[in-house]
Structure 1
Amino acid sequence: MAMNDIYAESEPGRAEVDALPGNVLLEFGAPWCEHCQAAQPLLAEALRGQPVHHLKIEDGPKRRLGRSFKVKLWPTLILLRNGHEIARSVRPTDVREIHALLQGMDAQ
């Protein structure tokens, strides 16, 4: 599946995310965040050809989904399998960090 380039206009609810089947990569951040912008080419490279659904969620004040995952810094990448967190990466600066995160899809 391909990388999602656009932040969701509205965030899904936690119950909706917990019910997602298969491998899902949640990306929490903001379009104006320099760290998030710097991570985009790394994400594009790492996600190319990967069997994962990518959800790009804008985070910030009054955004409950990020708080429910205890997101503190952007970007935060959370890999879910069938709604359960199996791996996380905060502010990745190298594509190898994202590849390592995605290796969690093969584990278990």
Structure 2
Amino acid sequence: MSEASSDDEIDEIRAQKREELASQLDDSEEQPDEAVPSEPIYVNGASEFDETLSSYDVVLVDFHAEWCGPCKMLEPIVASLAETTDAAVAKVDIDQNQPLAQRFQVRSVPTLLLFSDGEAVEQIVGVRDESTYRSLIEQYL
């Protein structure tokens, strides 16, 4: 094989690889960000919590406890928000995740924290009507 035909083959292979890579880049740009789940994400531990915050632009976190009556009243609202908004909704049981509760200075349940781009931007302690949470979320979407 001559040196010229070898160079031509290499150039042809390079051109083909460039086209493949360009095609892959185009495909990845068309793919939307990770879809926001339509159900609450049950978070257990700091690493899961941090991963959830980094995976979604806006995350509403419900710090709750199994023994808490107001938390139980809030459950259907939290489920509805997860289903009908473009924010991810996470639930953190404070009894199983005391270090997380301490990290965010949760002193009463239910406490809901709203995160935008990984930063806590709003905090609501106690139960409010669904429209309050919804309007808060919409400010950051």
TM-score by length of 2: 0.61
The one-letter code of the counterpart of 1:100 is S
Structure with bigger RCO (C-alpha 8 Å, 6+ apart): 1
Post-superposition offset of 1:7: 4.1
CA offsets 1:36-65 (integer angstroms, 9 cap, x no match): 100011222333321112211110387111
The one-letter code of the counterpart of 1:75 is P
User: Match of 1:20, SS?
Assistant: helix
Which residue number corresponds to residue 53 of structure 1? 88
Post-superposition offset of 1:16: 2.4
Q: Is residue 2:99 matched to residue 1:73?
A: no
Tell me, which stretches of 5 or more residues in structure 1 are unaligned?
none
Tell me, which stretches of 5 or more residues in structure 2 are unaligned?
1-36
Post-superposition offset of 1:31: 2.1
Greater gyration radius:
2
Post-superposition offset of 1:92: 2.0
Q: Is residue 2:38 matched to residue 1:2?
A: yes
- Flag the 1:62–1:51 CA change in 2: closer, same or farther, 3 A: closer
- State the number of aligned residues: 104
What percent of counterpart residues are identical? 22
Q: Is residue 2:121 matched to residue 1:82?
A: no
Q: Is residue 2:71 matched to residue 1:16?
A: no
Post-superposition offset of 1:18: 8.7
